[in-house]
Amino acid sequence: MNRLKIERMLACSLMLVLLSSAMMAASAAEDKDILRLGLQSDKFTLMNPFVLPWGNGGVFGLTHVPLAVFKPDLSPGPSLAKSWDISSDGKSITFHLMNNASWHDGKPVTSEDVAFSFEYWKKTSKTDARNLWLNASLDNVEVIDKDTVEVTFKEPLAVATLAAQIPIIFIVPKHIWESVESPDKYEGSDAMVGCGPFVFESYDKDAQVVYLKANDNYFAGKPSVDKIEWRYYRSLDSALLALKKGDIDGMMEYYQPIPGVYAADLIKSGGIDLDIVPDIGVPEHLIFGFREYPSNVTEFRRAVSYAIDYDEIVSMIAAGYGEVPGKGYNSPALPGYDSSIPKLEYSLDKAKEMLNSSGFIDRDGDGLREAQDGSKMRLALASNPKPQLIRTAEVVSSQLRKAGLDVYVPSLTKDEFRKVLYTDKNYTMAISQSTPFGNLGADSASSYFVDLPGMYGTSMDPEIIELENASLHSKDMEELTKNRKAIQAYVANEQPMIALIWGDAIYPVRTDRWDGWVPMNGYGPATYWSWFSLKPVGK
């Protein structure tokens, strides 16, 4: 082989190396611009905004957005509506829309779409909070002009609706959905067309990954994140392992802070920070069923509250990330929190005394108390099947047995638990949780125990119903705060539900790849506001 051929071969090899290096560098740069997020609570099924996990899109602000979004402190801020006015009678809200918003298919967003959306939400799942609220309260929606719409309620519910409902009622295009009779069953290729900051690109069913790209024409400006990959994991452990390995940069799912027991291990992993935000929700609570005995007896509920060791729950369930809650249920981070209400107290002696004095006595000496009429009393403590909540139920069950109550935790699937809690409502006691949204409403979390249209509870006590209606009909924030405090005082006295812990909402994120996370109280860092502030590290 002559020298010239050797030189040519070396030159070609060098060019291939340089070309390969350039391609790898370009790929690495492109890879750096992809935000990878995990999901483990709800598996992807239909690519449809009304189906979970897409149904929570009002909080994330991905493909679809509402008229107003939750700001980081959970107050409502402008989104598709640039401003709004509340009528003097508190019955209507007039929204003034952005005039440069368009759907992902290029058609303009108008007030006709808004009016259509409010009515259309009434066709969605009957267990969806938006469906329940609008079916119970919406009177009519009037199109004033192409950029103005007036939403009127049957009663003075404008303030209450704006505070909690409007930021999760995302708007959909009328021209796509007006011919669809069953919203949560639609599988058309245009189902994911919205007007949000991200455009749906594709879904890999086998890999359980959704691909999104930034909307160049978003009315509030293009996001700083170019692309999002949203991947489903079968368990929290597998999702957190992916986070530690650097396969994902954080989690994006509706109110799923990690249990405190994972915190120490994640901190050791390197490249991971814990965003710890004030938790507007209550990660573990106990609800009493008022249709069943003995949970419809006030003294029984009060005795149960004293039989629970809250410090043990903070230590065992939350690994110290939390505190003993107050009797009024609402956390200190919630607007309208009443700091004068004392904290819950653990006193096994008080619990036993109250049970004895109210007739729940161990008559046969077997260590377990009988009902007031002397009959055997075996009490089911139903639980949401999430592992952390099952563990909480087991701890509470054990604590209540120390007071002489024969309590057990039945094995329930997610669907079975929802049926018991929301459809049949035939539970004695139940362990679950409340979300930031559930607590933000004017009802101040009482929707979990009050039996009114659009609510989940079983209590029909005239006193709480009067307080509930007064709060729902608040005409301004000052009045709403006053009414929220009145509800907390009622809860402290009657104990229709018990917060088992006021927790810190912990959300792990990789800070070695992305900088600029904007956490939202309760919901964490994967939020609408982060899409416009996140930047790859070093860019």
pLDDT tens sequence across 67-90 = 999 888 888 899 999 999 999 998
More confident: 378 or 335: 378
- What pLDDT score was predicted for residue 25? 40
Label the pairing between strands 378-383 and 406-408.
parallel
CA distance 348 to 294: 19
The alpha carbon of residue 51 and the mean position of all alpha carbons in its chain are separated, in whole angstroms, by: 15
Q: Residue 392: CB partners within 8 Å, gap ≥ 6? A: 284, 313, 317, 383, 431, 500
Residue 138 main-chain phi, psi, to 5 deg? -75, 130
CA distance 440 to 68: 15
Q: Which amino acid is at 144?
A: I
- Which fold does the domain 31-254+523-539 belong to in CATH? D-Maltodextrin-Binding Protein; domain 2 (3.40.190)
At 28, the pLDDT band (50, 70, 90 cuts) reads very low
Is residue 11 scored above 70 in pLDDT?
A: no
DSSP state of 281: S
pLDDT in tens, 46-63: 888 888 887 776 678 899
- What pLDDT score was predicted for residue 270? 84
CA distance 370 to 377: 5
CA distance 3 to 526: 60
The answer to whether 221 touches 100, Cβ cutoff 8 Å, is no
pLDDT in tens, 394-440: 999 999 999 999 999 999 999 999 999 988 999 999 999 988 877 87
CA distance 134 to 319: 40
Q: Which amino acid is at 303?
A: A
Summarize the confidence of residues 252-267 as an average pLDDT.
Answer: 86
Summarize the confidence of residues 212-226 as an average pLDDT.
Answer: 95
Q: Residue 24: CB partners within 8 Å, gap ≥ 6? A: none
* Residue where the block lists tokens 């994911």: 192
Using CA atoms, how far residue 352 sits from 304, 348, 402, in Å, is 9, 6, 9
- Which fold does the domain 282-503 belong to in CATH? Dipeptide-binding Protein; domain 3 (3.10.105)
At 13, the pLDDT band (50, 70, 90 cuts) reads low
- What pLDDT score was predicted for residue 520? 85
> Please, where in the chain does CATH 3.10.105.10 lie?
282-503
- What pLDDT score was predicted for residue 4? 52
Comparing CA positions, the residue from 233, 212, 225 lying closest to residue 64 is 212
DSSP state of 459: B
Is residue 5 scored above 80 in pLDDT?
A: no
Summarize the confidence of residues 163-178 as an average pLDDT.
Answer: 91
Is residue 19 scored above 50 in pLDDT?
A: no
Query: How confident is the prediction for the chain on average, in pLDDT?
Result: 88
CA distance 132 to 122: 8
Cβ-based neighbour number of residue 271 at 10 Å: 14
Long-range pairs of 205-210 with CB within 8 A, sequence gap ≥ 24 = 205/44, 207/231, 208/43, 208/44, 208/232, 210/44, 210/47
CA distance 104 to 62: 12
- What pLDDT score was predicted for residue 212? 95
Strand partners, 326: 343
Label the pairing between strands 272-278 and 406-408.
unpaired
Give the H/E segment covering residue 421. Answer: none
The alpha carbon of residue 75 and the mean position of all alpha carbons in its chain are separated, in whole angstroms, by: 15
Q: Name which of 128-142, 191-205, 399-413, 486-500 the model is least confident about.
A: 128-142
DSSP state of 217: T
Summarize the confidence of residues 271-296 as an average pLDDT.
Answer: 92
Give the H/E segment covering residue 190. Answer: none
> Please, where in the chain does CATH 3.40.190.10 lie?
31-254+523-539
At 269, the pLDDT band (50, 70, 90 cuts) reads confident
Indicate the SS3 state at residue 392. Answer: helix
- What pLDDT score was predicted for residue 1? 53
- Angle (deg, nearest 10), helices 387-402 and 310-318: 150
Comparing CA positions, the residue from 133, 120, 119, 139 lying closest to residue 181 is 120
Structural Rg of the chain based on CA atoms: 26
CA distance 346 to 396: 12
Task: Return the structure tokens found at 73.
Answer: 């402190």
Could you check whether the bond before residue 294 is cis, i.e. omega within 30 degrees of 0?
yes
CA distance 33 to 111: 35
